Structure 1
Amino acid sequence: MDRRLDVEWIKFMTGQKDIDFYPLGPNTLESKTIAELEKSGVQILQPLIGSELEKFLQSCDVLTMPYVLNKVTIAATAQNKLFQYIAAGRPIVSSAMPHLFEFPPHVLRKARNKEDFVRKIYEAVEMDSEEHAKERLRIASENTWEKRGKELINLIERGIRVREQDFQR
């Protein structure tokens, strides 16, 4: 948790009687902000890694990315987190970050404001199904680091071949 998270969105979200928010990971927020979040019902968990993290993510109804929309946050669009969440098989709701990949709404819903964020959380829960979870897992299997590495190698090799052809002319 850091200053990229929209604290007001989180407090609004946890103000709903049936939404719990469990941030996990390194926490660099000021103690005053942490106290405000805890007072609003946020349950800050210790960082998890590996299978513990995967199991926790899979246990959630919806995974969220409530980022502040500013230059710093937008420049650091969270594609890695997005694909980690997709691999957990759960629906995702994010702030409307402009460079975040586009996916169907059963994979990713983007919110414009805190009210829209909460509305999209409810929609994601309501429309979720086993079929949608399978689709999210299929997308994750098509977007592994190994596959991206092979694509990168192919692009580099293709560029080298083109360059060699240019030198031979």
Structure 2
Amino acid sequence: MIKDKNMICFAPADWRWYGSCKRLMSIFSHHNKILYINHISISTPSIKETGTKVFIKRLLRKLKTLSRPFRKENENLYSYSPLIFPGYHGVIKKWNQLLLRFQIQFLQKILHLSNPVVWIENPVGITVAKNVNPELILYYRTDKFESYRELRDRQDILSLEEKLTHDAAIILCVSSKLYEEKLRFRKKNVYYIPHGVDFTHFNNAIKDPFVPEEIKHIRHPVVGYFGSLSNSNDEALIHYCATERPEISFVLIGTVLGEFKLIRDLPNVYFLGYKNYTVLPDYAKNFDVCIMFWKVTEWIEHCNPVKTMEYLAMGKPVVSVAIDDICKNFKGIISIAKNCEEFLAKIEEELGNDSPEKQKKRIAFVENETWEARAEVISRVMEKNWRRAVTNR
């Protein structure tokens, strides 16, 4: 594991969100000092695009973060929410780059972060990366940001992608599609390292008999999902399954960022809202089948859902829409469906054929795929790059 390094991380989400970036930085912070830069928007907020309710939710959430922009999260890790204008285009882009550069350099100085490793998951980070005298620039590519539906000017993000591809010493891709795509532009120091899993957190929950009251009395069988609920989710898919099988309860856990008018009032569909990550497994262990139900857009095709292995760590059967990485890496472990009829048929099949042996197989499949294991692999990649740099001097 890398030790005694300074790191500046440009994250795609705020520290309070339990994404891959937070998990890895938490591990690296055991032996390294880290400045974690909270989400910097690559899109301009729009009521027209998101709807009034979602717009207000996002605004309030961001204002809450900005009320305490600088925080000490643990002994070696600090989070910061930059004070910049919303959006990333035109004149706003130029002003934001200046503001961001000033704030990052100021914090770098007071925290004594000399020659940091600059870890970029949000492409905007490359605009200031070279201004902090980095020892190494690493691009952790987790999403196809240029396919983000709310982008006003995709060319801006494509330009950042091009610069990152050129300037980053190392590129890590979490999905095979992202990896294969990046290899078309460069061959050197590009790696495929999929997401990990907080195995202990999810697996320990199934050994504890406690079940929250909110879900305890929902009729079984329970088909469940946790994660953000937005326009990226395939509402029509749930509508079909829930109306065809009213005896099945569909439980959806997560912040609701869409209208969901089709299913909101169905008697067997339950929206339980946001649940803190610390208690999430207590809810999910009550699912009989776990699902992943997105519209298969270019954005989704390039993703590697973190929740996949979280479901499996609890031994749960999983039914998913056809995503490239799921089809390639979880064959025989996860049921894949290409349309509504198949999706419902797979749910019924999993409900009828689950067994303790299958549950053990799922758990064993992900037991060693932890975030700690991923951090070790990434550390070896970084150390290899440093050794090569020393040799070439």
TM-score of the pair, normalised by structure 1: 0.86
Q: 1:85-104 residue pairs with structure 2 within 5 A?
A: 85-100=311-326, 102-104=329-331
Q: Aligned letter for 2:386?
A: I
Q: Which amino acid aligns with 2:284?
A: L
2:280 to 29, 53, 56: 53
- How big is each residue's C-alpha offset from its partner over 1:116-147, in whole Å with a ceiling of 9 and x where there is no partner? 00111111222211122112222232111111
Distance in 1 (alpha carbons) for counterparts of 2:384 and 2:252? 43
SS in structure 2 at match of 1:69:
coil
DSSP 3-state at the match of 1:44: strand
How many residue pairs get aligned? The number is: 162
CA deviation map 1:16-42 (0-9, x unaligned)? 133221111110112xx34x2123332
- Describe the SS at the equivalent of 2:271: coil
SS in 2 for 1:79: coil
Query: Aligned match of 1:113 in 339, 352, 359?
Result: 339
- The one-letter code of the counterpart of 1:123 is E
Which residue of 283, 287, 290 maps to 1:63? 290
**Aligned counterparts of 1:18 and 1:120: Cα–Cα separation in 2:** 16
1:23 aligns with 2:249: no
1:74 matched to 2:323? The reply is no
Higher helix share: 1
Aligned to 1:129: 355
| Residues 90 and 8 (structure 1), Cα distance of their counterparts in 2 relative to 1, 3 Å cut | same
Aligned to 2:231: 3
Q: Secondary structure at the match of 2:272?
A: coil
Is the strand fraction higher in 1 or 2?
2
3-state SS of 1:43 partner? strand
* Amino acid across the alignment from 1:92: V
* Counterpart-to-counterpart distance in 2, 1:138 and 1:99: 19
- TM-superposed CA distance for 1:157, in Å, is 1.7
Equivalence for 1:42: 269
Q: Check conservation: 1:21, 1:43, Cα contact below 8 A.
A: yes
Unaligned runs of 5+ residues in structure 2 are: 1-228
Deviations 1:80-121 (A, max 9, x none): 11122112220111100123352143x311110010001111
How many Å apart are 1:8 and its aligned residue?
0.9
> Displacement of 1:158 after TM fit?
2.4
2:304–2:325 CA contact under 8 A, matched in 1 = no
Deviation at 1:163, TM superposition (A): 4.2
- The answer to whether residue 390 in structure 2 is matched with residue 161 in structure 1 is no
**How many Å separate the matches in 1 of 2:237 and 2:334?**
18
Pick from 134, 144, 148: which aligns with 2:374? 148
- Confirm or deny: 8 A CA contact 1:102 1:108 kept in the other structure: no
Q: Distance in 2 between matches of 1:48 and 1:89?
A: 21
2:216 corresponds in structure 1 to none
Change (3 A) 1:119 1:98: same
Quick one: distance in 2 between partners of 1:88 and 1:98?
Answer: 23
Q: 2: CA distance between counterparts of 1:63 and 1:21?
A: 10
Once residues 374 and 341 of structure 2 are traced to their aligned partners in structure 1, the CA distance between those partners, rounded to angstroms, is 36
| Alignment partners' CA distance in 2, 1:104 and 1:69 | 18
> Do the aligned partners of residues 131 and 22 (structure 1) sit closer, same or farther apart at CA in structure 2, a change above 3 Å counting?
same
Gaps of 5+ in 1: none
Change (3 A) 1:49 1:137: farther
* Structure with bigger gyration radius: 2
Q: Distance in 2 between matches of 1:104 and 1:18?
A: 29
